[in-house]
C-alpha cells in the first residue's frame, strides 16, 4: 500500500472508531436519549465500512498500466484555471448565504427560515424549476413538523419576533 492509501484507510478507521464510540457511549441512557445518537451512528458505521472496503480494495489492486498513483487515487480532477479572486468571491457568496440563514433563524425562527432559504437559494443560485423547489421545501417542512416536532418532540427556541411580540407568528410556526 502506498502512503496516501494508508492515510485514507487510517482516516476511515478513525471515523469508524468515532461512530462506534457514539453508538457505544449511549448504551446506559434511556431510550428517548439514545434515539438521535444511534440514528446517526448506525448509518455512519455502515457507510464507513463500505468506504473502508473500497479503500482497502483500491489500495490492493493497482490500476491499469500507465496510470500513476495520483491518477488512481484521485476521483475528481481539480480545475486550477480559475482566478484566485473568483474562487474567493464564490466562497464569500456561499458564506453570505449561510450567514443570511443564521440571521433568518434568529429573526423569524428555524421553521420559517429553512423553507425560505430553500426557495431563495434554489431559485437564485441553482436556477431550479418551481416544481423542484416546491418538492424540496415540502419535504423539508414535513420532516421539520412531523419527524422533529411531532415524533421527537424537539423544542424550537423562540425567535426575535416571538420574544418581542412585534409581529404575531402563526401558531403552526411557533
**pLDDT tens profile 21-30:** 999 999 888 8
Greater pLDDT, 108 or 79 = 108
Average pLDDT over residues 49-77: 69
Regarding pTM above 0.75, the answer is no
Q: What do you get for the CA distance between the two ends of the chain, in Å?
A: 55
Nearest partner of 39 among 147, 164, 174, 157, judged by Cα: 147
Q: Tell the residue number behind the cell numbers 485514507, with chain if given.
A: 8
Nearest partner of 161 among 169, 150, 153, 149, judged by Cα: 169
Q: How far apart are CA 20 and CA 14, in angstroms?
A: 10
Helix (H) or strand (E) holding 104: helix 84-108
Structure confidence by residue, pLDDT tens digits, 87-145: 889 889 999 999 999 999 998 888 889 899 999 999 999 999 999 999 999 998 888 88
Q: How far apart are CA 30 and CA 19, in angstroms?
A: 19
| Neighbouring C-beta atoms of residue 56, cutoff 10 Å | 15
Amino acid at each position: 500500500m502506498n502512503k496516501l492509501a494508508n492515510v485514507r484507510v487510517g482516516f476511515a478507521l478513525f471515523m469508524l472508531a468515532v461512530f462506534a464510540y457514539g453508538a457505544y457511549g449511549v448504551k446506559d441512557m434511556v431510550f428517548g436519549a439514545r434515539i438521535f445518537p444511534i440514528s446517526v451512528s448506525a448509518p455512519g458505521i455502515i457507510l464507513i465500512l463500505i468506504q473502508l472496503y473500497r479503500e482497502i480494495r483500491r489500495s490492493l489492486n493497482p490500476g491499469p498500466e500507465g496510470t500513476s498513483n495520483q491518477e488512481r487515487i484521485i476521483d475528481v480532477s481539480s480545475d486550477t484555471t480559475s482566478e484566485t479572486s473568483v474562487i474567493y468571491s464564490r466562497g464569500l457568496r456561499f458564506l453570505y448565504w449561510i450567514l443570511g440563514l443564521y440571521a433568518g433563524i434568529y429573526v423569524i425562527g428555524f421553521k420559517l427560515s429553512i423553507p425560505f432559504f430553500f426557495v431563495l437559494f434554489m431559485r437564485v443560485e441553482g436556477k431550479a424549476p418551481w416544481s423542484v423547489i416546491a418538492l424540496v421545501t415540502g419535504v423539508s417542512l414535513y420532516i421539520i413538523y412531523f419527524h422533529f416536532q411531532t415524533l421527537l418532540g424537539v423544542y424550537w427556541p423562540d425567535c426575535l419576533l416571538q420574544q418581542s411580540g412585534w409581529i404575531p407568528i402563526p401558531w403552526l410556526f411557533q
